[in-house]
């Protein structure tokens, strides 16, 4: 819908119905190519957010709803899902623009003109000719210097070009849309989807986002191993609080292991915090505090998998009420043991045989 409305706003033209050819090329060629370059950069560098990630962080939706939307379709790898959804959004935008373009071609007479204070037709022709190189086989969609001269418009003078000539740019614009917008985005959609499925296949050994029926089938077909529980950690250690636990929980942990060298709260949709900590976490023991009663989600799997391999790493599920820490339930402990076994070099920690 956004692509449709933006396309209509530009293709509607001015008061005389004239559409600026240069604005169309900016919308249908230059901006899509710039977005494509950014997408490829995200793909190569492993960008975590993408367009959809930034959209979810805008103050449009409530935070709890944005977090749940982020989890839809995840199989343990949030950033690949966001990259995949970004391609869907951008391709949908492109399709909306193409749809309104075709509808207006059928139902109205679009007059294509161009205006520039600095450029003349001989200056603009090489650039347009270069853009048309991919569809060299379509002669009717190629630009010409004569057509450029006939469709140049000046605001304070009457239009001298014949009316039929003003519509001859439609094939060039359509070819530019297909070449620089639709086709590259369709390819990126296929690539991102395959990448997401491949990463998800690895992470699906354990996925709390699977429907319960499917998870039950996996459990019945293959006996799931459980991670061992440990009760001590080397010190010093760094405490990462995924649970947003109250202060008395932190004090309770310090009774067992002493004061951490540093403490940090980590949460969904703020992955940059881990990146800032990488230097501090090097060669240190990492202790991640989680709520025992909340099932482990794919975003947590992403966080934990992103930590440096050289660290000794522990997950501490903790249960508490309004004023004190209480023993963890057996079913919750089993859930976290199944989760922990899917992670490399992570151990499940408890504070003692009993509290």
Flag whether pLDDT at 37 surpasses 60.
Answer: yes
pTM: 0.53
89 to each of 28, 37, 40, how far by Cα in Å?
15, 16, 16
Q: What's the pLDDT band for 211 if we cut at 50, 70, 90?
A: very low
Confidence tier at 27 by pLDDT (50, 70, 90): confident
pLDDT tens figures, 213-248: 444 444 443 345 788 889 888 888 888 888 889 999
Q: Is 177 exposed, middle or buried (0-12, 13-18, 19+ CB in 10 A)?
A: buried
Residue ranges of the domains in the chain?
2-202, 229-349
| Distance (Å, whole) CA 45 – CA 337 | 32
What's residue 266's pLDDT? 80
Q: In sequence order, what are the beta bridge partners of 286?
A: 238, 313
- The pLDDT of residue 319 is 92
Tell me: pLDDT of 308 over 80: no
What does the pLDDT read at residue 75?
A: 44
Q: Is the pLDDT of residue 179 over 80?
A: yes
Average pLDDT over residues 24-42: 82
Give the residue-averaged pLDDT of 110-138. 86
DSSP H helices in the chain: 2-11, 21-25, 31-45, 50-57, 63-71, 78-107, 121-131, 145-151, 170-177, 183-203, 212-221, 247-257, 272-281, 298-306, 330-340
Torsion of CA 178, 179, 184, 185, to 10 degrees: -20
Specify the pLDDT at position 311.
Answer: 76
Give the pLDDT of residue 212.
45
């Amino acid at each position: 819908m956004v692509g449709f409305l933006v396309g209509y706003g530009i293709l509607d033209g001015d008061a005389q119905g004239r559409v600026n050819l240069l604005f169309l090329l900016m919308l249908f060629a230059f901006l899509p190519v710039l977005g494509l370059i950014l997408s490829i950069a995200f793909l190569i560098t492993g960008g975590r957010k993408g367009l959809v990630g930034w959209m979810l962080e805008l103050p449009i939706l409530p935070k709890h709803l944005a977090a749940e939307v982020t989890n839809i379709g995840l199989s343990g790898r949030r950033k690949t899902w966001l990259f995949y959804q970004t391609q869907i959004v951008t391709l949908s935008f492109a399709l909306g623009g193409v749809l309104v373009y075709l509808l207006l071609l059928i139902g109205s007479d679009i007059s294509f003109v161009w205006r520039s204070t600095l450029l003349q037709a001989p200056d603009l022709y090489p650039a347009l000719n270069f853009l048309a190189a991919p569809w060299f086989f379509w002669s009717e969609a190629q630009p010409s210097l004569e057509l450029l001269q006939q469709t140049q418009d000046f605001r304070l003078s009457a239009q001298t070009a014949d009316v039929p000539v003003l519509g001859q740019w439609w094939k060039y614009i359509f070819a530019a849309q297909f070449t620089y917008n639709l086709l590259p985005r369709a390819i990126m959609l296929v690539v991102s989807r395959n990448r997401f499925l491949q990463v998800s296949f690895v992470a699906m050994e354990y996925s709390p986002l699977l429907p319960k029926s499917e998870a039950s089938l996996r459990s019945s077909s293959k006996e799931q191993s459980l991670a061992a529980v440990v009760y001590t950690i080397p010190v010093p250690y760094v405490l990462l609080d995924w649970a947003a636990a109250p202060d008395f929980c932190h004090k309770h942990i310090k009774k067992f292991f002493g004061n951490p060298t540093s403490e940090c709260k980590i949460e969904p949709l703020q992955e940059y915090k881990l990146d800032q900590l990488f230097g501090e976490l090097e060669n240190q023991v990492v202790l991640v505090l989680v709520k025992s009663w909340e099932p482990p989600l794919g975003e947590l799997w992403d966080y934990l998998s992103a930590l440096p391999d050289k660290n000794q790493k522990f997950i501490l599920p903790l249960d508490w009420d309004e004023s004190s820490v209480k023993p963890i339930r057996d079913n919750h402990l089993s859930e976290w043991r199944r989760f922990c076994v899917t992670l490399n070099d992570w151990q499940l920690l408890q504070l003692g045989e009993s509290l």
